[in-house]
A and B are shown apart, each in its own frame.
Chain A
Amino acid sequence: MKKLLMATAALALGATTALAETKIGMITTLSGGGAGLGIDVRDGFMLAIKQSGRDDIEVVIEDDQRKPDIAVQLADKMVQSERVDILTGIIWSNLAMAVIPSVTAQGKFYLSPNAGPSALAGQGCHQNYFNVAWQNDNLHEAAGAYAAEAGYKNSFILAPNYPAGQDALTGYKRMFGGELAGEVYTQLGQTDYAAEIAQIRASGADSVFFFLPGGMGISFLKQYADSGVELPVIGPAFSFDQGILQAVGDAALGVVNTSQWNKDIDNPTNNAFVETFQTEYGRLPSLYASQGFDTANLILSALDKAEVSDADAFRDALRAADFSSTRGAFKFGPNHHPIQTIYAREVIKEGDVYTNKIIGVALEDHADAYAADCKM
C-alpha cells in the first residue's frame, strides 16, 4: 500500500513537471504603497500568458512589499528551491540592484518589466539581463528635450533620493541644457511637499520638472495645485499613469508628460491589448501594464524559437525581439535596453475618466546614454 502511494506521488510529481516545462518567477510589489504598479505589471503579464494558450508555462508570483531584503530572499528561494528559469517583475530600482546582479550571475535570465537603473545599463550590464521597459533616464531625457523645445530656460527639478531619482534628474539635465533654478532630492515615500513648493515659489523658475512615482506624485500635484504657484509642470509618465490620475483629479489636467507607451498608439497589438485588458480587469491599462504585457510576449516569442535550457539560443531569440509590441516596432540596443520613440502626452478628461493623449514625439528612436560602456 505504502509503495503504491509513493508510486502515485511520484507519478503526480512527474506529471506536474512534464506540464510546466518553463518556470517563470515574478517578484513584484503587490502590497503597501507601491502595489498599484506591481499589480498592473502582473495583470499585463498574465494577460499575455493567458492569451498565448500555452499550458507548459508556470508563473510563480511573490510580493516583495517594496523591501530590498524581502526581494533578495524571494529571489534566492526562486532560484534555489523553485528552480525557475527566468525571473521578472521588479518595479523599484533599489530592489532591482539588490536582485538582478546576483540572479544573472547564477546563470538565470532576468527580464525587467520596469526598473532600468543606469548601473545595469553601462559597465554593469549582463548578457542574461534584458530590460523591456526603458533605461531609467529615458523618459526624463524626453522630458528635458520637450522642455528645451517648449522654450523653458530655467527649471526647478525634484526627485526622491534613490537610484531611479538620481537617474531621473541626470536624464532631464542631459537633454534640457537650460539653467536650473533649483535641484532638490526628497525622501522616498515623502507625502508632504509644502517645503519644496515654497522653494519653488521663491526660486524664480519658469518651469517645474518632477519625478515622483505612485502616491508621492498624487500628494505633490494636489498640494501644488492648491499652492497658487502657477508655473508649468513637466514630468515622466510615472506621475500620470492610469492608476493614479483618478486620485489626482483636475489638478493634473493639461500637464505634459513623457511616455514610451499610451493607449492611443495605433497598432493592432495595442488596440487589442487595451480592449482585452479592459474586458479582463475592468479598468484601463497603464504603461506598467503594457510593459508587463510586452515582457511576457517577448518571453513567449523566444520560447517559440528555443528552449531556455539552451541558454545561448534562447538569449539570441530574446535579443531578436521578434514579437509584436504594444509600442509598435521594438528593438534592443547592444546593452539589451530598448531603442524606442518616446512621446509627449497631455492629461485629458474622457467623460468621467482622466487619461492621457499623445500630442507629439519628444525623442525619436532614442537609445540610452550608457550603451557604449557596456561590454558583454
Chain B
Amino acid sequence: MSALLIIEQVLNGLQFGVMLFLMAAGLTLIFGVMGLINLAHGSLYMIGAFAAAAVAGATGSFILALGAALAAAAIAGALIEITVIRRLYGKAHLDQVLATFALILIFSEGTRWVFGSFPLFLDIPDYLSGPVTLPGGIQYPFYRLTLIAAGLLVGLGLWFLIERTRVGIQIRAGENDREMIAALGIDITRLYTLVFAIGAALAGLAGALVGAIQSVQVGMGEPVLILAFVVIVIGGIGSIKGAFIGALLVGLTDTLGGIFLPELFKLFMEPGAATQTGSALASMAIYILMSLVLIWRPTGLFGARA
C-alpha cells in the first residue's frame, strides 16, 4: 500500500464527498426552511442527468448540457413545489414521505416513457478528459479534479448566498421562525418556491456532473438519495455547514473503508475470506459512522433542533 495510492484514494473520497454535498445541501435546505422530507430529491438528480444527456446529444456542448440540467431540475422543482409540495407543509412527515415517494414513481416511469429503458450516453467533453499528472507523480483523471473544484465553488456560492445576501437572511429567518417572517411582510410562498428550486437545481447539477462518468438511467437517483440522507443526519438536519462536513466524512469513509478494511482483514485472515468480510463491512462503514455520530451528538454535528 503506497503513499501514492492513499493520496489518490483520498482525492476519490473528496470527489465523492463534494458531489454528495450538492445533493445533501438541497435536501437539508428544504428540510431546514420548510420542514419537509423530500424523497423525490433523487428524481431531480435524475432529471438533471437526463436533461444534460439529451442536450449534449443534440448540441454536443457540455456547457449547454450543464445549463440545461440546472434549468430542467429547477423548473421541475418549482413545478412540483407549486402543484404538490405546497400542500404538504402543514402535514405530518408520514404524509410528506408518502406523497414524495409517489413523485419518485411518477418521475421514474415518466422518464422511462420519454427516454426508454436503456441507459443514455453522456460523456466527458474532450477538454476535460484523460488523466493529469499531479505533483508526486500521481496520475489522476482531470474530470474528477474538475468535479472537486466545481463542488467547492458551488459550496462557496451557497455560503455567500445564505450568509451575505438578502435572500439568505430571509432563508435563515424562515428556518428560525416562519410565522414571524411572514408577519414582517415577506412573501413566504415565493421564498419557499425559490428555496425548493435552488435545492432542485443543485441536485440536477450533481446529476449532470456525475452522469458524465456514470450511467444515465432511470432510478439512478435513489442510491444517492439514501447517502444524502445519511449525510444530513450526520451533519445535523437543516445545517448547510453540517451537510458539507458530513458529505466529506461520508465520502472519505466510504472510499477509504472500501480499500483499507479488506487489507486490514488480510492481516489475520486468508485473502478470499478477508476480501468478502472486508467488503461487507465496508458497505456498512458509513452507517456505523452515522450511529457513532448520533450516540455522541443526537442532533448531528451541527444540528440545532432534535
Contact = CB atoms under 8 A, between A and B. Distances in A.
Interface residues of A, number: 39
B43 interface: no
Interface string B273-296: 001100110010000000000000
Interface in A323-372: none
A215 B129 CA distance: 21
Nearest to B8: A198
B118 A36 contact: yes
Contacts of B131: 226-228
A194 interface: yes
A167 to B, nearest CB: 14
Interface residues of B, number: 47
Interface string A217-252: 011001100111000000000000001101111000
Nearest to B53: A247
Interface in B212-246: 212-220, 223
B221 to A, nearest CB: 11
A11 B144 CA distance: 67
B141 interface: yes
A348 B84 CA distance: 47
A246 B215 contact: no
B1 to A, nearest CB: 8
A39 B116 CA distance: 11
B220 A33 contact: yes
Contact of B119 (A189, A223, A244): A244
Nearest to B120: A247
A375 B96 CA distance: 54
Given A35-B112, A183-B272, A185-B275, A246 B141 contact: no
Contact of B275 (A36, A184, A195): A184
Contacts of B210: 191
Given A247-B119, A249-B123, A183 B5 contact: no
B281 to A, nearest CB: 11
Nearest to A30: B117
Nearest to A251: B123
A362 B220 CA distance: 35
A222 to B, nearest CB: 5
B5 A35 contact: no
A223 B123 CA distance: 10
Contacts of A249: 121, 123
B175 interface: no
B259 interface: yes
Contacts of A223: 141, 213-214
B112 A202 contact: no
Nearest to A228: B131
A355 B130 CA distance: 24
Interface stretch (B9-17, B31-39, B162-170): B9-17
5 contacts: A36-B117, A192-B12, A218-B215, A228-B131, A248-B121
Interface of B: 2, 4-5, 8-9, 12, 15-16, 108-109, 112, 117-121, 123-124, 129-131, 139, 141, 143-144, 210, 212-220, 223, 255, 258-259, 262, 271-272, 275-276, 279-280, 283
Given A36-B118, A39-B117, A244-B119, 6 more contacts: A30-B117, A201-B8, A222-B124, A228-B139, A243-B118, A249-B123
Interface of A: 30-33, 35-36, 39, 161, 183-187, 189, 191-192, 194-196, 198-199, 201-202, 214-216, 218-219, 222-223, 226-228, 243-244, 246-249
